[in-house]
Amino acid sequence: MDNRIQIDIVTGLPDLLGGFIEESIVGIARKKGIVELTVHNLRDFGVGKHRQIDDYPYGGGSGMVLMAEPIFRCLESIGVKPNTEGTDREEVIFLTPDGQRFDQKTANALTMKHRLVLIAGHYKGIDQRVRDYFVTKEISIGDYVLSGGELAAAVVVDAVCRLMPGVLGDSMSALSDSFQDDTLDAPAYTRPASFREMDVPEVLLSGDHRRIHDWRESMRMDKTRERRPDLLDL
């Protein structure tokens, strides 16, 4: 299995993503050669002397709309095909509050792709023709409106990268995450065993792997039942 993925992020605000890319799990995945990530500055494809990337909406209304031309030119320069000609190994994702809600299942599915192209909209949105022509999937990270898609793109990239085989040191660690099997994760503790008179549950110090496993399972179920019963009624 090829465990590498190419990720392109298209944005008018590339500096927003700098620290995230360098410092996060994504940075580790890049250094290991598992993720090849490039941020494309829409300004480089802007129109006219001022390299314009947005304009007023037809029909009036507040806010600015990202223009079709800079995005078309940017996507074409990196070989992105129209959605009618795409393959199932590539996904062109537009981050938008009216997209499909992002979850762990979608993150898992995206790890199977060879290439993800994420378009971060800004201002009031992007020209609909970009969505019609290129986009294969529209993703929302939750029912709230961010001022741009960059943070949403970072969320998706982080969730996908940490699932790529070889990225996390402990290969079991992603498998036991909250949501990975539709339950929430058990509480975690580290040293010291007693801190300000608060003690780590005795079972975790017992060295008895069977008991530890059973305790974690029961904590996962209790927590899920209490906080997210919706995850259990499938």
Radius of gyration of the chain (CA): 21
Nearer to ligand ADE, 145 or 188 (CB): 145
74 versus 119: smaller Cβ distance to ligand ADE: 119
Helix (H) or strand (E) holding 119: strand 115-120
Strand bridging mode 198-199 / 194-195: antiparallel
Comparing CB distances to ligand ADE, the nearer of 11 and 96 is: 96
Q: Which is nearer to ligand ADE, 26 or 167 (CB)?
A: 26
* Smallest separation, CB 92 to ligand ADE (Å): 15
Q: Between 11 and 224, name the residue whose CB sits nearer to ligand ADE.
A: 11
For ligand ADE, the binding residues (CB under 6 A) are 95-97, 140-142, 144-146, 149, 152
Token pair of 72, please? 């078309």
Are 114 and 89 contacting, i.e. CB atoms less than 8 angstroms apart?
yes
* Token reading at 103: 């979850």
Nearest to 92 by CA among 158, 150, 138: 138
Q: How far is the CB of 173 from ligand ADE (least distance, A)?
A: 27
DSSP codes of every residue in 16-78: GGHHHHHHSHHHHHHHTTSEEEEEEEGGGG-BTTTTB-EEPPTT--SS-EE-HHHHHHHHHHT
CB of 124 to ligand ADE, least distance (A): 11
